[in-house]
Structure 1
Amino acid sequence: MMRDPKSRASQRVGEVVRSLRNDATISRTKLAERADIDVRHLARIEAGEGNPTLFVLIQLATALDVKPETFVKGLTATDLPENLKPYSEADFRRELRRREGA
């Protein structure tokens, strides 16, 4: 059963992994073996359903002969799930001032 991607970030990472794997003309099973991860986990990542750790991204980058930043290039906070609201330093200071004034 195909589920919706966790976020635009997850979807983008999955698309990049799948595209690089296809460009390298290797199967999902072979990439999973090279990266030393479970093929089901790789399938979830490619579908945008997984949320790979930094370690997994480095493993995939090594197996695909690319830099790890390839997977996250161009992603911003707007690509995160709706329930995550990271603050910039300016946002944080503004929120502190608002709370102090309340």
Structure 2
Amino acid sequence: MPRIHSEAARLIGQRIRRARQDLGISLENLGELAEVNWTSVGKIERGVSSPTTETLIRIATALEVDAGDFLHGITADAYNARHHQLTAREFIEARTHAGRRGL
């Protein structure tokens, strides 16, 4: 069985599958409506593939859902390991603080 791309991909796929099943349409139907290959939709639903922005919007439009609903609450931590945990604000504050110390 293929490996999950990331926790974020798994969550997005789960949300897409739920929306599709709530409407009672098949993967093939969703693929046709979204103009995305249905096998790609299947990979996205299983979390094996992470959708591009365009694909996510095409799928959301076909399902009559806001694409943001599929992303709600997902952060960078849901993707593979990050090298640092700083936000832009934290980075700027650290740089400003280091500048005051003459570094």
Identity among equivalent positions (%) equals 30
Q: Distance in 1 between matches of 2:72 and 2:16?
A: 13
The amino acid that maps onto 2:23 is A
In 1: Cα distance, 2:85 partner to 2:52 partner: 18
Q: How does 1:77-88 map to 2 (within 5 A)?
A: 77-83=76-82, 85=84, 87-88=86-87
Q: Which residues of structure 1 form unaligned runs of 5+? A: none
Output the CA distance in 1 between the equivalents of 2:8 and 2:49.
10
- Whole-angstrom distance in 2 between the partners of 1:37 and 1:75: 23
CA 1:83–1:3 in 2, change beyond 3 Å: closer, same or farther? farther
Partner of 2:19: 20
The answer for the alignment partner of 1:31 in structure 2 is: 30
SS of residue matched to 1:46: helix
**Aligned-partner SS, 1:40:** helix
For structure 2, the residue ranges without an aligned partner over 5 or more in a row are none
CA RMSD of aligned residues (A): 2.2
Aligned twin of 2:56: 57
Q: What TM-score do you get using the length of structure 2 for normalisation?
A: 0.83
Based on CA coordinates, which of the two structures has the bigger radius of gyration?
2
User: What is the count of residue pairs matched by the alignment?
Assistant: 101
